[in-house]
């Protein structure tokens, strides 16, 4: 279990007025409110969502 890598993502910009696909990526990462932080497993799927909406997020290695 400890061999999994994690990434901490924080929503720093609002999803209001964004594309529906970008809103879906943010909710797929488990983020709902501004300045909410979640730790997600570093998988190619999660990395793809993070890259798509990187302008809305702050990303840190956990």
Structural domain spans, the chain:
6-61
Residue stretches of the chain with pLDDT short of 50: none
Task: Tell me what pLDDT residue 1 has.
Answer: 56
Q: What's the angle, vertex CA 22, arms to CA 9 and CA 14, rounded to 5?
A: 65
Q: Beta strand 57-61 with 37-41: parallel, antiparallel or unpaired?
A: unpaired
Q: What are phi and psi of 5, to 5 degrees?
A: -95, 145
CATH number of this structure's domain 6-61, picked from the four choices 3.30.1390.20, 3.90.1150.10, 3.90.580.10, 1.10.3720.10: 3.30.1390.20
Task: Tell me what pLDDT residue 26 has.
Answer: 98
pTM exceeds 0.95, yes or no: no
Task: Tell me what pLDDT residue 3 has.
Answer: 84
């Amino acid at each position: 279990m400890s061999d999994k890598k994690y990434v901490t993502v924080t929503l720093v910009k609002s999803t209001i007025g964004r594309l529906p696909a970008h809103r879906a990526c943010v909710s797929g990462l488990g983020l709902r409110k501004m300045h909410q932080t979640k730790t997600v497993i570093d998988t190619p799927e999660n990395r793809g969502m993070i890259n798509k909406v990187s302008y809305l997020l702050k990303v840190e290695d956990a």
